[in-house]
Amino acid sequence: MNFFEHQDRARRNTRYLIVLLIAAVFSLVAITTLLFATLAYFGDEHRNEITQTTWQGILHTLSPSAFLWIAVGVSGVVMLGSLFRFAQLRGGGKSVAEAMGGRLLAGNTQDADERKILNVVEEMAIASGTAVPPVYLIEEESINAFAAGYHPQDAVIGITRGCIQSLSRDELQGVIAHEFSHVFHGDMRINMRLISLLYGILVIGLIGEFLIRIAGNRSASRSNSKDNSPAAMLALGAGLLVIGYTGIFFGNLIKSAVSRQREFLADASAVQFTRNPEGIAGALKKIGGNSYGSELKNEHAAEFSHMYFGQGVKSFFNLMATHPPLEDRIKRIQPNWNGEFSESVYIRRKTSEVSEADAGIKEELLEVVSAFDGNVVTKSINEAAPQTSIDIEQTLAQIAQPTQGQIGYARARLSEIPESLKIAARESFSARAIIFGLLLDRHAPAAQYQLELLSEHLPEAEFQQLRPLISSASSQHAGLRLPLLELCLSALKQLSADQQHGFLECINALINADKKISLMEWALYRVVLHNNYQAPPRERTHSLQHQQTECAILLSILAHAGSTNLVDAQHAFARAQTELKFTIELLPKEQIQLADLDKALDKLNRVKPLQKPQLLKAMSQCVLQDNRVTIAEAELFRAIADSLDCPVPPLILATG
């Protein structure tokens, strides 16, 4: 199952989940109606004895209008409770991490354990072609982790101290790859919705608890024995408490059933990602051999139980467990496992050792197409043998499932980035300087004018503080520019609303300094905007065939961008046309505005997941029309794919 099939499955699972929860609410309505009918029946002073017609009397106690009011009341309580929890979690993954007591890891941390996990997450993100998510550390000794958020743009990784300290780097890589699978495949969004919906059901039980407390207080303060209101309130509270927790019981059954299957799939994806079964299997074995296991002590642990890497709360029945047994998970990865767990050993390295280990693979091991520049880095496929080209089919299959070559690419690029820039990219204040540097013109006079404009938008002291970083970022070679951008995106999310507004003003000033916007400037701006300031589409149900105008705009601009004359552009567009099941026409270059492209991408992002590969293949034909791919073309392709929520990994030359 590839990335697009996973996305489509997640969309369908969301519908099934809503249907199941609606069924649960109907069940609660029926049980609540029965409760009120029973209380009304026995509360009638003319019915003091139980007769053979008691249950008939109970069923006839409430009128249809009363049943309707109960249904509206229960549904309203569940809906309001769900909306309340949704509002609390509107911050996305950050809200969950903070509720679990997580602390955002600072980019300039000197703690070796914290540096280790940051390096692993950065490596996996860059290999995947996606923004580096914020990492939150939970100070617990158990081995566990989670990914939380409504969409990749607000995703965070949470991880326990015990996980970092107990696992080797390969094992940590397996755990993080497992969590990235949840991010890419839509599991994370379902998890967040489950939290809100189940909380709505729990509210009924919380109301019952409140009524019981009120009844107890009234009973203690009232001396009038004829006042039966405390007893009635106590009975009602107890009934609502039972109903609420009955709903939670069935809700947890749904949650557990969905979660267990997705854990198996995420384990398999982690093995595909890392190509190292020993990594994730070793992590699972250490959970079994660790005295703390994967259990979390936080008061909110049960609410988020379906989100963890390992079983985060005790389950007395296998039916209620949110995760499959460790033994089953390990045997699926290693069928010949001998059944022995590994002892959890505290692994700690000095900071210098961490840096050396993360230096990665030498650049000559890879030929990579990356970042924003116009240099040709591939040969014509007719020039030499063996032939070299980019296999777009293979690249699309690698979305959310990068190869070892792409992980090697990420290691190589990270090892080349100066340490000062890596630290700066992890802090919101200094990350802005890197983006400014990436937007500087390569020609000195133009760059100097841009810096003068920037100094007018920033306080003098702040500008002088950022200027060395701006200069350093602008001087990095082309292969480091996109990884630098991906490193910065996490820190930029931490800017306040006023800081974000000022940051965007500065970006616009740099881009408009020469009174025109290049495609590369637009691409960088689009990635920043998409990952930090734009909400994702609520639904992806549009048909690609109904977006013919948008397809024409997108493919026309790509065809013109990769061609030096109209004939080449027409040829590129014709190749792209062969991938579509409908006919569109090449638009004149002068008629296309980047604002039109922005609107087109917003609509195309709402296309059904299984139809997006068709669009990406058409885009690739524009890029490959002359059998050569420039770095600029490759990264423009990746930037547009990012706007379509398709994280294309680094494009690596295929030989064959």
d(CA 475, CA 296): 46
Contact status, residue 510 vs residue 439, Cβ threshold 8 Å = yes
Residue closest to 76 by CA, chosen among 201, 192, 191: 201
Q: Please tell me whether the peptide bond between 386 and the residue prior to it is cis, using omega within 30 degrees of 0.
A: yes
Contact status, residue 317 vs residue 260, Cβ threshold 8 Å = no
- For residue 476, the 8-state DSSP code is S
Residue length of the chain: 656
93 Cα distance to chain centroid:
8
Is 179 marked active-site? yes
Rounded to a whole number, what is the distance in angstroms from the first to the last CA of the chain? Answer: 25
Q: The tokens 């290049």 sit on which residue?
A: 518
3-state SS class at 515:
coil
The pair of structure tokens assigned to 58 is: 């109970």
Residues 6+ apart with CB under 8 A from 154: 91, 92, 93, 94, 493
d(CA 480, CA 417): 7
Strand duo 145-148 + 156-160: pairing: antiparallel
Burial class (CB in 10 A: 0-12, 13-18, 19+), 553: buried
Residue closest to 257 by CA, chosen among 318, 182, 209, 309: 318
Please give the helix or strand (H or E) that residue 369 lies within, else none. strand 368-369
Give me the helices (H) in 316-427, please.
326-333, 351-357, 392-397, 404-416, 419-425
The pair of structure tokens assigned to 602 is: 């917003």
Catalytic one among 122, 140, 179, 633? Answer: 179
Residues 6+ apart with CB under 8 A from 237: 207, 208, 209, 210, 211, 212, 214, 215
CA-to-CA dists, residue 498 to 238, 451, 489, 524, angstroms: 49, 21, 17, 21
CA-to-CA dists, residue 368 to 80, 177, 452, 480, angstroms: 52, 22, 35, 11
Angle of helix 612-623 versus helix 566-577 axis, rounded to 10: 150
Contact status, residue 410 vs residue 126, Cβ threshold 8 Å = yes
Identity of residue 230: P
The pair of structure tokens assigned to 251 is: 């809700």
Active site residues: 179
